[in-house]
Amino acid sequence: MQDDIPLTNLQPQGGLLRRTLADQRVLQVLGQILFVFVAVGVFWVLGNTAANQLRDKGLVPTFGFLELRSGFAISESPDWYSGESTYGQAFVVGLINTLRVVSIGLVAASVLGLFVGVFLLSTNWLIRNISRAYVELLRNTPLLVQIFVWYFIVMFSFPQIRDAITIPAEGVTFVSLRIVLWALLGLLLWRYLGRPSVDFDRREALRYGFGALLLVSELLAWGHWERGAGWPWRPGAGLTIPTLALMLVSINLFLLGRGKLLPLPLRPRARGAALGALAAALFFGYGMLPMASLRVETFPAFFISIRGFVMPDLLATGRFAPWFAYVGLGILIAGFVWIWLGRRTEDTGRPYARGRLMLLALLVPAALGWVLVGLEPPPTHIPVEQGGEVVLQPLADAAEAGLLSTEDRLRTITQPLLVQMPSQNRFGRFLTGLEFTPEMMALLIALVIYTSAFIAEIVRAGIQAVPHGQIEAGRALGLSQAQLLEKIVLPQALRVIIPPLGNQYLNLSKNSSLAIGIGYADTFTTTVTIMNQSGQSVTGFLMVMVTFLALSLLISLFMNAVNRRFQLVTR
Amino acid sequence: MAGRQRPRRLDRNIAYFDEPPERRPPITEVGPVAWVRANLFGSALDMALTLLGALFLIGMISFLLTWSIGTANWYSITFNLRLFLVGRVEPFMDPRITFLFLFIAVLAGVNFAAWSRIHLRLWAILAAVLLALFIIPWLIAGAIPLPLTWLAAGQREVTSGSITASPVERVAFIAGADEEIVFRLVTPADDAELARLNSFSDGMSNTLRNAAANRLASEQRLVTVERELAGDSLTGRQRAAREAELENTAVPPPVHTSYEVGAYPVSLILRSGDTDAEIFNGTIAPGAEMRLTLPRDGWYVLEKRVPDNDDSIALLSASGLYPVFDRSFIREGERVFQYMRATDRLLVEGGRPRDAGGADLPMLGIIDHQYRGERPLADFLSLMLGPFLDQLNLGLALFTAVMAAAYFASRWLERRDSDQEVPLRRLRRAAVWLWLVTIPLAFLLIIGVSSGPFLTLSDPQLWGGLLLTLVLTVVALVVAFPIGILLALGRRSTLPVVSAASTLYIEVFRGVPLITLLFMSMLLVQFVLPSLSGPDNAPYRVMVALILFSAAYLAEDVRGGLQSLPTGQVEAARALGLPGWRITLHITLPQALRAVIPALVGQFISLFKDTSLVTIVGLIDLTGVANLIASQTEFQGLRRETYIFIAIIYFIFSSVMSNVSRRIEASGSGAARA
């Protein structure tokens, strides 16, 4: 210990100037002033050079050019945009396109990432390793290369619009009525077997009986179908060779199930299977097995071709607004029910089926509204153009003749919403339906899949961060798997997941600017076009930077709010 | 058995002692069966997932295999390997880059010796793999003959769809000295056989092949349509379309009879390409074969004719005639034409043979003379895999050998004086010094210093491929690192102005997409720093953007490291009376930097991937090369092959780096010492 140093030695010595200079606070202020001077000086010199250069080239930055005519078309733009619109409007179109990709992308990437993240922890070796390979492959290759692959390889390998891949494919499927029967029977059996009072023998007998009934009936039906409806295979032919043989076999099997030759657990199964097969043979023999099938014609709803994706469009008709008022009412009631029942539970300690009641409160007004809105009859006549002049025609006739435009249909239809299927003209161009360009699909798919790999790792880490004892304790309390996930694992995992998830959301929104690599008209691509045409690069970059900073800020604010909520709930 | 008779009614309800309790045999709990049961078929859901996963995997693998063996054109890779690796750098750079490559091998060897152990078994495996890289091409070359080439002789035009192939009587090709060419006449019995002639083929025989295949397909299609119309599985719209199709399609007559494809005597004349002197003149009869031995390397011209029949076409198969790539470039002010044989890279320089009028004779160029149709495995091995491995093996072997030498030498030196206080201390110091030497050395070798013969300045515009990708990544990281440290210190500073300025910088650069910065560097940096304008300086301008960008990210990494330090460290230093800058320099920074090594490696990986964006601003990095090749005439549109190849390169580098980062993290050498 050096306590013999007099304290006075530590005080600054000398005159005022020297003392002032030795004061750390003064030094700090001086240092900062110097820093500002240097920074401003450097910026001033660089900015001056740039300003001079720009002035020499006649490119003084202004915002006035935003009012000028843009003169370029954008393949993916709303109706109000054309080459006659201004640069400002072009920029807005780009902004809308960015927001479209980012908003769809965030949701899809989260869902996909959640699934892959859970698969990464699967007990199934194959699934676990496939998802591990998925994550590693996607994380370790550049996003731009992935976008190129999706665009130049996948999108370009789709067929021409004439031979577009259609989902469902156009054609005819036969739905056997027996399938409906089996499904119903199976459901009933499943509900019955779920009861705790059913003992082993009965359960096994019923299971095997149902299995045998299904199998043998289908075999007989297959024989009928394969061999034609000749005598032995005709349903309702009574006791024929196949049915007789089956009955003999099943009677023997039943006797075997009664005897002691088989091991104990196999006996009820044998008895059940025998009865099932016997029933199948009798049903078939006496024509009680439904052999008919429904002929269902399917027409395409989704088209995938080299020109992009087309899907059915959901349009709001003229009656949407009044219906939406009913829906709004439902939302209000549901919110009220939710809060009121929550209070009741807190006051009385009685649990209520809050979720179900809320759903009911949502659905009943919506359904009621749907019916009430549709009560008003549509106009009987409608003006249509025919041979160059407008004439009033009965609505049904006009609809049959295909004279109604989309606007007419939206005005006259009695439902509040209209699902419009895609339709093509003779040259394959789509007249109706929601179209997505291949550029947008490639960008969206690449962004979603790339980000999902990172989200999957975050989800995996989050779930692994929940101590295993918590899960075991939950099991010990008798929670079901779903309850365990909802009440124990997820709240704690989300606390770990949300902060890095926010980072990935920011990355996705920034990465959407790679659209320029494949020419999707997002904010950045349109701005680069604007800059190339108008020469206003400084202003253009400023606009892009502000846009992306604002987008980042928005996402950060949202994620911070979510984060606060989860931290509060768990602590 | 009379003694065991019991009343029937009681049988169900009474348990008898003489009946042993029956239980299921226990489930096997060890061995592969148990493993499969636990890991693949645990429950019904598991079973479904396993089946789906297996189906997906099998489909994926079989698709990739059939595509890459059967149809992919890997010439786009094997012929452009140099472009992928170093771009278009000048030839004088080759020894410098090789030296750098081997120096990095030394660096790797010393570092392995200093920080980890490579087991002898691993060295053995590496050696075996490298040996295989030499043996496999040798085996392939020895065991699998190269595919044949189909040539058509005749005076008729052949049409398939909208394509018409005109007869070619004289065709030029390149071949080497002492090579043997074997001709045979082929007689396809029907169209099916004609459609199966998959190999290198000239325009006429390929058009014949296509015509036959199309005819078979349309025949097949009609059968299908008729069967569909007979059934009831069509909607009304489909039925109308099918009926119209049936009405409008007419199957053409069989190709092999309508063109009279058959075995006719063909007269063959072989001339030297330079002197036009006749080397051979003769007629090949059906069933016979003809062997010609060539005198020297260079151009030859083959004349083929069906002498006394103008309407017939004869098909010849030839071994020894292979397609040619042509390149032309300026060397010392003169345009040089190079021709290279696709199968074995036989190179011929100089002019092509011309006809009497002075026009170039048609040659077996790779564009018209590609491998047609599905490739069998043998042809894939002999044409694609063998040549590819042949180009790769020497470099990899050298690298591994040098690395092994450095590894064992440094271990031997280390063991020689084992009386050091801290084991490995000297070796580790040496390894760090080697790192510090490598980076400036690399820049010196790549950029050059003078315009004289020694270390000539290289043209940055010509850097490309993996070289450019790595240069950009390393420069961005190395230069940005000190800036990042300053920014991190600035952000944690108590001085409000400094802290605010640093925070503003970091947040702005992290909030803006890199591609914006790259465009900005291309468009705006020239206004701010006029010395960086012009296309020559494009890589430097891009570097500016990458440096500014990664400085912000590195600053956040370093800040994380600084925050992870226990406060006691700083307090103790303050108690010792150290001034602030010395605390930072000697106490906090060294520990913080050690803690952020894994984050730095992560930053390196993401920067390595992000450099691919420079493609968009026109630089030819690894991704840019893939695009560039797809725009070459020979490889037009071959993006699948190139993208898959670069994806593999990116994947290998990134996963090796992330493995290293994981090992550093696991070894705990990154952790702060409390």
pLDDT for residue B102 is more than 80:
yes
Which residues of chain B make contact with A524, given a CB cutoff of 8 A? 513, 515-516, 519
Split at pLDDT 50, 70, 90, the class of B420 is low
- pLDDT over 60 (residue B542): yes
Distance CA B186, CA A461 (A): 65
- CA of residue B397 relative to chain centroid, distance: 19
| C-alpha distance from B513 to closest chain A C-alpha (Å) | 5
Q: Is A569 on the interface with B (CB under 8 A)?
A: no
Q: What is the pLDDT of residues A138-174, one digit of tens each?
A: 999 999 999 999 999 999 999 998 888 988 888 888 8
Check A524 against B615: CB less than 8 A apart. no
The string over B629-665, giving b where at least 16 C-beta atoms fall within 10 Å of a residue's C-beta and e elsewhere, is bbeeebbeebbbbbbbbbbebbbebbbebbebbeebb
Partner-chain contact A35 B497, CB within 8 Å: yes
Angle at B558 between CA B555 and CA B563, to 5 degrees: 120
- What confidence tier does B54 reach under pLDDT thresholds 50, 70, 90? very high
pLDDT at A298: 87
Q: How confident is the model at residue A12 (pLDDT cuts 50, 70, 90)?
A: low
Residue B263 has pLDDT above 60, yes or no: yes
The CA distance from A173 to the nearest CA of chain B, in Å, is 7
Residues A495-503, mean pLDDT to the nearest whole number: 91
pLDDT given for residue A1 in this prediction:
45
Closest to B614 (Cα-Cα) out of A517, A209, A14: A517
Angle between helices B496-511 and A24-56 (to 10 degrees): 40
pLDDT tens per residue, range A226-260 = 777 677 778 788 888 888 899 999 999 999 989 88
Token readout for B547 is 């440096």
pLDDT at A66: 86
Is it the case that residue B33 has pLDDT exceeding 70? yes
Q: Which pair of tokens denotes residue B589? A: 């920074």
Q: Do residues A545 and B524 make contact, with C-beta atoms less than 8 angstroms apart?
A: no
Q: What pLDDT score was predicted for residue A293?
A: 83
Task: Tell me the CB-side half-sphere exposure of residue A247, using CA atoms within 13 A.
Answer: 13
Could you give the CA distance from residue A331 to residue A362 in angstroms, rounded to a whole number? Answer: 6
Which pLDDT belongs to residue B344? 83
Q: Cα–Cα distance between B84 and B88 in angstroms, integer? A: 9
Q: Is the model's pLDDT at A130 over the cut of 80?
A: yes
Closest CA to A536 of A91, A49, A58: A58
Contact B42 A46 (CB under 8 A): no
pLDDT in tens, A268-302: 999 999 999 999 999 888 888 888 888 888 888 99
What value does the mean pLDDT take over residues A346-354?
A: 84
* More confident position, A39 or A12: A39
Q: Do B512 and A126 touch (CB under 8 A)?
A: no
- Residue length, chain B? 674
Give the model's pLDDT for residue A248. Answer: 92
Q: How large a percentage of chain A has pLDDT more than 70? A: 96
Nearest to A542 by CA among B504, B534, B524: B524
Q: Phi, psi (5° rounding) for residue B665?
A: -65, -40
**What is the model's pLDDT at position A10?**
53
Report pLDDT for B183: 92
Mean pLDDT on B54-83: 93
CB B514 within 8 A of CB B615: no
Distances (CA, A) of A59 to A97, A526, A533, B440: 28, 19, 12, 40
pLDDT exceeds 70 at position B1: no
Paired sense of beta strands A302-305 and A308-311, if any: antiparallel
pLDDT (tens digit, 9 = 90+) per residue, A506-527? 999 999 999 999 999 999 999 9
Give me chain A's average pLDDT, please: 87
Q: Can you tell me the distance from the alpha carbon of A174 to that of A473, in angstroms, rounded to the nearest whole number?
A: 51
pLDDT score of A495 more than 60: yes
Q: Do A263 and B38 touch (CB under 8 A)?
A: no
- State the pLDDT confidence band at B12, using cuts at 50, 70 and 90: low
Instruction: Identify all chain B residues contacting A538, using CB atoms and an 8 Å cutoff.
Output: 524
Question: What is the value of pTM for the model shown?
Answer: 0.87
Residue A8 in this model has a pLDDT that exceeds 60: no
Percent of chain B scoring above 90 in pLDDT: 41
| Confidence band for B2, pLDDT divided at 50, 70 and 90 | very low
Name residues 40-69 of chain A within 8 A of B (Cβ).
46-47, 49-50, 53-54
- DSSP line for B418-471: ---SSTTHHHHHHHHHHHHHHHHHHHHHHH-SBSSSTTBPP-GGGB-HHHHHHH
Closest CA to B651 of B603, B600, B608: B608
Q: Is the pLDDT of residue B674 over 50?
A: no
Cβ separation A548–B616 shorter than 8 A: no
Shortest Cα distance from B122 to chain A (angstroms)?
24
Confidence of residue B647 (pLDDT cuts 50, 70, 90): very high
Q: What is the pLDDT of residues B272-299, one digit of tens each?
A: 888 888 888 888 888 888 898 988 888 9
Touching check for A153 and chain B: CB below 8 Å? yes
Whether B670 has a pLDDT exceeding 80, the answer reads no
DSSP code for B586: I
pLDDT at residue B604, as a whole number: 92
* Mean per-residue pLDDT over chain B, rounded: 87
Q: Is A139 on the interface with B (CB under 8 A)?
A: yes
Angstroms from B311 CA to nearest CA on chain A: 38
pLDDT digits (tens, 9 = 90+) for B352-398: 888 888 888 888 888 888 888 889 999 999 999 998 998 889 999 99
Contacts of B527 in chain A (CB under 8 A): 49-50, 53-54
**Residue A168, preceding peptide bond in cis (omega within 30° of 0):** yes
Q: Is-contact A262 A253, C-beta < 8 A?
A: no
B425 pLDDT higher than 90:
no
Q: Compare all CA atoms of chain B with the CA of A523 and give the residue at the minimum distance.
A: B516
Instruction: State residue A570's pLDDT score.
Output: 45
Mean pLDDT on B620-636: 91
Mutation for testing the A interface, residue in B470, B515, B517 having most A CBs under 10 Å: B515
CA distance A491 to A486: 7
Q: How many other CB atoms are there within 10 angstroms of residue B537's CB atom?
A: 18
